[in-house]
Chains A and B, each alone.
Chain A
Amino acid sequence: MNKFKFILSFLLTILMILLMDPRSFYGITFHEWAGLVIGLFFILHKLLNWNWIKKVTLTFFKKSRGRARLNYILDILLLAGLTLMILSGIAIARTIDFTWLKLGGSHMFWRVMHTSSSFITLALFGIHLGLHWDWVIQRFNFKTIKNVKEN
């Protein structure tokens, strides 16, 4: 399960970086479809960590550790950032027709919202990775630890 989580997180990171510039990877069509896919990846990522979310939600004001609280707040900010990113992306989409959603607002407003929310979310992703760095290192050392234990 950890290996799957790691691969999913890795894909999320790569996809997020590729999405930061619509010109960098197969143009706007890829940007818009991959933007929707990243939302699904994020939901899957949260579902895989559902037990942790449930545990911290129930104990947030009682006995949660400071670090768990920090991670929880960061996750909420990430969720808000990603939601704004996808919503503004939908509002300014060019290759996928989302006009039926009738989101309103000016094109410029959504464009600035899209840029700002994606820049802030990338920074939050970086902070999130930094706070989970030990977990990442553990994934890389997984086999080594296992081999040492077996020997």
Chain B
Amino acid sequence: MAILVTGYFAVTRLNYMDRSLAIFSMGKPGQRLDGRPGAAFKGEASGRNFPDSQRQQFRRNEGERMERFRGDEGMRNGEGRGRGNYQGGNKINLRNAAWFTVVFALFTVIVIYIDKAYSLISKRYQKKADTGKY
């Protein structure tokens, strides 16, 4: 029960479902490209309506930003803009790993109980079928 409750909390905290399914909703309107659900552009995020010309400007800016990000040749081997390594990259911080362990355990526990329930039900059916025969 503790695993189920902590697991549910971990799934919510890590935004697990949305990030898992992000690939299927890529390119759909209202989805950000980084895998998190949300508005595609700044104006839509705040609920304001921008004219088409301004929307096109946002799209252009977004495109340029993506191009800059793609041109990451200088980022190989940790060079360039200093983004080759994550901040605190040479340290051990297992807090997020612990949350992922909980999610992993959640799926395992759910399957174990479903499997046990299925075995129990099929055994009962088998027993009933056997007693019905004789």
B-binding residues in A (CB < 8 A)? 13, 16-18, 20-29, 94-95, 97, 99, 106-109, 111-113, 115-117, 119-120, 122-123, 125-127, 129-131, 133
Contact = CB atoms under 8 A, between A and B. Distances in A.
A25 B92 contact: yes
Interface of B: 16, 19-24, 26, 33-35, 66, 69-70, 72-73, 75-78, 83-97, 100-101, 103-112, 114-115
Given A112-B34, A126-B111, 6 more contacts: A22-B89, A94-B77, A115-B22, A116-B19, A119-B19, A122-B107
12 contacts: A25-B94, A26-B92, A28-B86, A95-B76, A117-B23, A119-B16, A122-B107, A123-B103, A123-B104, A125-B104, A126-B105, A133-B112
Nearest to B65: A108
A26 B22 CA distance: 27
* Interface SS majority for chain A: helix
A95 B78 contact: yes
Contacts of B105: 126
A113 B96 contact: no
Contacts of B103: 122-123, 126
Contact of B66 (A13, A24, A108): A108
B35 A94 contact: no
A106 B63 CA distance: 11
A24 B115 contact: no
A21 B100 contact: yes
B104 A130 contact: no
Those 4 A-B pairs whose CB atoms lie nearest each other, nearest first: A27-B89, A130-B111, A126-B107, A116-B23
A126 B108 contact: yes
B96 to A, nearest CB: 4
B115 A130 contact: yes
Contacts of A122: 100, 103-104, 107
B93 A23 contact: yes
A17 B101 contact: yes
Given A107-B70, A126-B107, A24 B92 contact: yes
A26 B90 contact: yes
A25 B97 contact: yes
B76 A112 contact: no
B90 A27 contact: yes
B112 A130 contact: yes
